[in-house]
Amino acid sequence: MTQLTAFYIPEPRLIFSENSKFKDPKGGLFLFGPYGKYVDGKPVSVTANVGIIGTSRSIGKTLDFFDCLRNRIPATSKGGVDYPGLGLKGRLRFDVKFDEQWQENLTNSDIEECKKQEKRTDKALYALDLIEDKLESLRQKEPSPDVIIISIPMEIIRMCKIYGQVGLKITLAHRRFGTILTEEQMKGDYDFHNIIKVVGMKYHLPTQVILPTTLDIERKVGVQDLATRAWNLTVGIYYKARGVPWKLTELEPGTCYAGVSFYRELDPEGQHTMRASVAQIFLHTGESLVLRGDPFRWPEADRYPRLTEEQSFALSQKIIDAYIKTHKEQPERLVIHKSSSFTDEEVRGFSNHQSLKQLDLLTISQSPIGWYRQGTFPIVRGTVVKAFSLSMEEFFIFTLGYIPQLETFPKPGIPRPIRVRIANLDTPERKMCKEILALTRLNWNNANFCDQMPITLLASNRIGEILAETRAREIEPSTEYRFYM
């Protein structure tokens, strides 16, 4: 028989400029400004030098959109916060600088040549080659820009997206993790957006892909309200320009948090291999670090990849070494999040570090069970249900739910909790739940109140998707997460 107990975790606070604390990211940015950059202990303004790649029309739309962002934009969504506007003297102490020398135009003849390509995928690959040429050109500028906006023109989307596919995403080929692929498929390209991220890394230029619907100032259907789009773009570009939008409170130094995911590639002999992609979070410094595990063979008959004891030890040693390199000291505690269960071999390998005082090994996935409550609103975010029996112990954490600070549940449908299964836990249960809840608030790719999954797994999954692209095998991947956002 399974017994259930429930408790509540108060909403973790965020740190903004001059150590000011607030629970809502947008509200904190509006009231205090971003955590930012510091010189001699004082916050300084940040200017991002931004380049643009697009047609003359999409470049013009981009410049018009950012001109609009220099003004205050009223929020129209439930629980929204007015966008205060760009400017070094404004609340955000952040501005973007555009210059004609950082603008690379996709000409009419480029578009016409793209149309002449026989297959849809050939058109997409031709467009990617054009973008790569422009990125290479921007890298050679002196100075080169800090961030590159890829303003995708509608002409390319119409030519390159799968016929009948809903939305504007360009997919070259579908690739499913549990599907056995031929060697030809393994050598292919898959996602237009992800390939742009790889090419940006090749030239050491963080990229921001923007769709034409995002830039449509008057559009109200099928897009977020204008203030939300402004917040999300600003936060993403600010971080890519090496600013820190906010940090987390109440999480102690000396702890390293890492998310582990897996992706598939071909080795130099053409054999299928797996690698682990790791997102490593240093909370008290605001840094995120990307690591890549060593390749290993994985039987295709097994649904989930597993590490041996030796591979688990080697991967965790890489994580610890990266922490030491950054902080000049050993971590006292290591927390590893994984979406698949830990095997006994993996537990032994991750545990075999005498220098660690504490180790938490947690499997985190979406709950297969739906949860409801009586009343008008869904279950409150921060609610935790502990389920325990003679054979297992697991936690269901509502990282999504009714958010009192917003006075709403900002998603459609019924929120599902995440399910946490424990392979090893040296931390008090409430502290473990509190940290997971806090880690849903570190996605600097937007200004949302929270995500469902902690950033450890969101980032490692995102990293794996990008590093699985064929072109990623031809470069040395960046260790900075801002290149993968």
Residue 213 confidence (pLDDT) = 92
pLDDT at 227 over 80: yes
Q: Are 267 and 35 in contact (CB under 8 A)?
A: no
Q: Which residue has the tokens 């643009």?
A: 52
CATH code of the domain occupying 3-8+249-483: 3.30.420.10
Predicted pLDDT at 261: 84
What is 36-240's CATH number, 3.40.50, 2.40.50, 3.90.550, 2.60.40? Answer: 3.40.50
The answer to whether 436 and 454 are in contact (CB under 8 A) is yes
- Tens digit of pLDDT for each residue in 260-319? 888 776 555 555 666 666 777 665 555 677 777 766 666 655 667 788 899 899 989 988
Q: Indicate the residue type of 308.
A: T
How far is the C-alpha of 342 from the C-alpha of 337, rounded, in Å? Answer: 10
Residue 240 pLDDT exceeds 70? yes
Instruction: Quote the pLDDT of residue 248.
Output: 86
Name the DSSP letter for residue 296: B
Residue labelled with tokens 């291999």 = 273
Question: What's the whole-model pTM score?
Answer: 0.91
Q: Is the pLDDT of residue 361 over 60?
A: yes
Three-class SS state of 138? helix
Domain locations along the chain: 3-8+249-483, 36-240
- Asked whether residue 183 carries a pLDDT value surpassing 50, the answer given is no
The residue behind tokens 């450890």 is 456
Q: What percent of the chain has pLDDT over 90?
A: 52
Residue 238's SS3 state is: helix
Q: Which two tokens stand for residue 115?
A: 């149309």
- Mean pLDDT computed over 370-395: 83
Sign of CA dihedral 180, 184, 186, 189: negative
Residues 400 and 367: their CA atoms lie apart, in Å, by: 12
77-81, 188-192, 275-279: least confident range:
275-279
Angle CA(385)–CA(387)–CA(389) in degrees, nearest 5? 165
The mean pLDDT value of the chain amounts to: 86
Provide mean pLDDT across the span 174-184.
50
Mean pLDDT of 164-189: 59
Asked which of 2-11, 37-46, 100-109, 462-471 is least confident by mean pLDDT, the reply is 37-46
- Say what the pLDDT of residue 177 is: 47
C-alpha 382/C-alpha 255 separation (Å) is 22
| Tens-digit pLDDT profile for residues 123-133 | 999 999 999 99
Residue 191's pLDDT is 86
How far CA 250 is from CA of 10, 155, 340, 356, 438, in Å, comes to 12, 48, 28, 21, 9
The predicted model gives 180-196 an average pLDDT of 67
Peptide bond into 245 cis (omega under 30): no
Write the burial class of residue 144 (CB in 10 Å: 0-12 exposed, 13-18 middle, 19+ buried): middle
Q: Is the fold of 3-8+249-483 the same as that of 36-240?
A: no
